[in-house]
Amino acid sequence: MTPAVLLMTERSMSFRVCEYVHDPANKNFGLEAAEALGLDPHQVFKTLIVLAENKEMCAVVPVSGQLSLKLFAAAVGVKRVEMCPPPRAERATGYLVGGISPIAQRRQLMTVIDETAQLYDEVFVSGGRRGLDLAVAPDDLALITEGTFAEIAAD
């Protein structure tokens, strides 16, 4: 049980656990999850930690695209955003890179979810470790993360 699974369970939220065998040689964690689970990559979302004015924030975008730092900055009202170094992202979230969940982070970071998540009844996000995804309704994901929806992904 990861902190993400425990929190979803504690809050009696509807979700499904989806496990697959992670290949340690594969560093494209999100696309690996989509392929292993037989899912549309537009419906599988990756969790990225960014720095906005030196403050960690969480971006949740489809694995089929990329995060637009410019769009993210506009969404949170800052001038500049950069990717967070992996060790700092791990310290901030309590999860290892490749298994960072937007749910139940060490301290809940400001979270922005790409608006395309709202096109689906459920989306798939990391459950807190490599090889574990959670299927959750987009509105429930926003609720549990105290997140907002905005256009933050670029194809």
| pLDDT tens digits for range 74-87 | 999 999 999 999 99
Helix (H, G, I), strand (E, B) or coil at 86: helix
Residue 80's pLDDT is 93
Q: Which of 147, 124, 153 is nearest to 34 (CA)?
A: 124
Residue 70's pLDDT is 96
Portion of the chain with pLDDT greater than 70, in percent: 100
Q: Are 60 and 114 in contact (CB under 8 A)?
A: yes
Sign of the CA dihedral running 35, 39, 41, 43: negative
The pLDDT tens digits for 82-105 are: 999 999 999 999 999 989 999 999
Residue 85's pLDDT is 97
In the predicted structure, residue 155 carries a pLDDT above the cut 80: no
In the predicted structure, residue 112 carries a pLDDT above the cut 80: yes
Q: What is the CATH number of the domain that holds 27?
A: 3.90.960.10
Residue 44's pLDDT is 94
Average pLDDT, stretch 42-54? 95
In the predicted structure, residue 54 carries a pLDDT above the cut 80: yes
In the predicted structure, residue 4 carries a pLDDT above the cut 90: yes
Residue 149's pLDDT is 98
pTM reported for the whole predicted model: 0.94
Average pLDDT, stretch 54-81? 96
Mean pLDDT of the chain: 94
Q: Which of 153, 150, 133 is nearest to 63 (CA)?
A: 153
Q: How many domains does the chain divide into?
A: 1
